[in-house]
Amino acid sequence: MKWSLCGLLVCLPFSTLVLAADTGIEGSVTQTLGYNDNFLLEDDAQSTWYYTITPRVTGYYRTETYTSNLTGSLAVNRYSDFSRYNSQDPRLNWQQAWIRERALFNLNIGYTETEQREDAEEDLGDFSTQNTVKTYTFAPAYNYQLTQRDNLGLSFGYTERQYSEATSSDNQSYTLGGNWAHDLSERTILRANLSYTNYEAQGALTETKSDIWRASVGATYNWSERTTLTALLGANWQDLEERTVLLNQSTQSTNSGSLASVQWNHQTLQSTYTASYSRDLSPSSDGAVREQDKLSLGWRYELSELSNVSVNGSWLQSTDDTQTREFMSFSPAYSRQLSRNMTLGARYDFKYQKREDEPSADSNQIQMNLVYKF
């Protein structure tokens, strides 16, 4: 059933491309060469050179009231000293939007096959895993302008993850959400969000079921045409059931916590500054739901019309009943447009991770990439 549905989703956009006049195909090929002095991010550092090539193709159809973009890509990863991590990771994503005078409907359908270590920062922090994860997503959203000052939004999201190793827990989750925005003045927008998430994970030893409610209120304030601040504060409530498969025993618990989301943006003629902080619950590949705090800072400076530099940094803390994990990163980068279709980039990444009762680990990574667009 799943593959027949995927086949239908693939065929429909191409039939639209054939019948419609305003269509096109665009794409790119990205090549990356880099060196990492601690590839596994462990106390005993092991280095490697790596090379990645990623062709990407997008077919699109656009009118004043409807847009459709179907994007497919394949990332081929090769490592000089860790050939067991060599991989070919396909991605397929279909985005659609229906635009009306007072309403907007979006639909996003996707499939990815990636290495779990790519998400290790926000997952379990395990950069040594060879696990492969297949992810299916289905996410419609509807926004309606109720009055000149009020906007309502409804959203649904379904995500399914399947892992190649039994050490991880296959899981499914769906989220129903609603939001309201009210233009209080030219500078201030009041906001309110409410959502419900059902999360289920099936592991070799344990099964987890979790119901999570989230509620938050806040506002967006436009200090000027160049500066914007959005802040949301709220709470979450979680009903958790864990079952031990071998013993067929279940435990139930109820927890509550706080939610926070703060975003700040500022622009000048040549610079862009960003800062954000969030606190929320996040499901992990082992079936557990952990509380995460994340702080991100960014700066981008336009050297000219063809080149720019940027610096990004982040801090993340993941907490559960038994352990706290901290992760930090710092990434300066440079980009130069060589021609209309070609861009050259260089980047440095520093990563640091610390767990309770374990040695800390850090890594340094440098890479250059060349992007050709057609």
pLDDT band of 21, cuts 50, 70, 90: low
Instruction: Evaluate if residue 5 carries a pLDDT over 80.
Output: no
Please, what is the average pLDDT of the chain?
92
Q: Residues 214-240: what's their mean pLDDT? A: 97
Task: Decide if 235 is inside a domain.
Answer: yes
Q: SS3 for 76? A: strand
Total count of domains within the chain = 1
pLDDT band of 244, cuts 50, 70, 90: confident
DSSP string covering 133-193, please?
Answer: EEEEEEEEEEEEE-SSSEEEEEEEEEEEEEESSTTS-EEEEEEEEEEEEEE-SSSEEEEEE
pTM summary value: 0.88
Lowest mean pLDDT among 4-18, 235-249, 305-319: 4-18
Task: Decide if 32 is inside a domain.
Answer: no
Strand pairing of 48-62 and 132-145?
unpaired
Under DSSP, the state recorded for 122 is T
Task: Quote the pLDDT of residue 9.
Answer: 42
In angstroms, the Cα distances linking 204 to 55, 102, 169, 201, 208 are 36, 49, 7, 10, 11
In angstroms, the Cα distances linking 94 to 11, 111, 134, 228, 365 are 11, 9, 16, 31, 33
Instruction: Evaluate if residue 213 carries a pLDDT over 90.
Output: yes
pLDDT: is 112 or 245 the higher one?
Answer: 112
Q: SS3 for 18? A: helix
Q: How many CB atoms lie within 10 A of CB 82?
A: 18
Return d(Cα 288, Cα 276) in angstroms, integer: 25
Task: Decide if 115 is inside a domain.
Answer: no
Task: Decide if 44 is inside a domain.
Answer: no
Instruction: Evaluate if residue 17 carries a pLDDT over 80.
Output: no
Instruction: Evaluate if residue 245 carries a pLDDT over 90.
Output: no
Task: Quote the pLDDT of residue 129.
Answer: 93
How many CA atoms are closer than 13 Å to the CA of 323, on its beta-carbon side?
Answer: 11
Task: Decide if 345 is inside a domain.
Answer: yes
Return d(Cα 237, Cα 234) in angstroms, integer: 11
Task: Decide if 338 is inside a domain.
Answer: yes
pLDDT band of 246, cuts 50, 70, 90: confident
Instruction: Evaluate if residue 75 carries a pLDDT over 90.
Output: yes
Task: Quote the pLDDT of residue 209.
Answer: 94
Under DSSP, the state recorded for 128 is S
Task: Quote the pLDDT of residue 365.
Answer: 98
Q: Residues 171-180: what's their mean pLDDT? A: 97
Residue partners of 93: CB distance under 8 A and separation at least 6: 69, 70, 71, 72, 108, 109, 110, 111
Lowest mean pLDDT among 112-116, 126-130, 245-249: 245-249
SS (H, E, C) 236-249: EEEEEEEEECCCCE
Residue partners of 159: CB distance under 8 A and separation at least 6: 135, 136, 137, 172, 173, 174
Instruction: Evaluate if residue 16 carries a pLDDT over 70.
Output: no
Task: Decide if 99 is inside a domain.
Answer: no
Structure tokens at 44: 């005993």
Q: What percent of the chain has pLDDT over 70?
A: 94
Print the domain residue range for 353.
Answer: 130-373
Read off the pLDDT of residues 273-287 as tens digits, 9 standing for 90 and up: 999 999 999 988 888
Structure tokens at 323: 């352990």
Read off the pLDDT of residues 190-211 as tens digits, 9 standing for 90 and up: 999 999 999 999 988 889 999 9
Lowest mean pLDDT among 13-17, 133-137, 315-319: 13-17
Structure tokens at 100: 């009306």
> Residue 320 maps to which CATH number?
2.40.170.20
In angstroms, the Cα distances linking 30 to 6, 346, 374 are 26, 13, 12
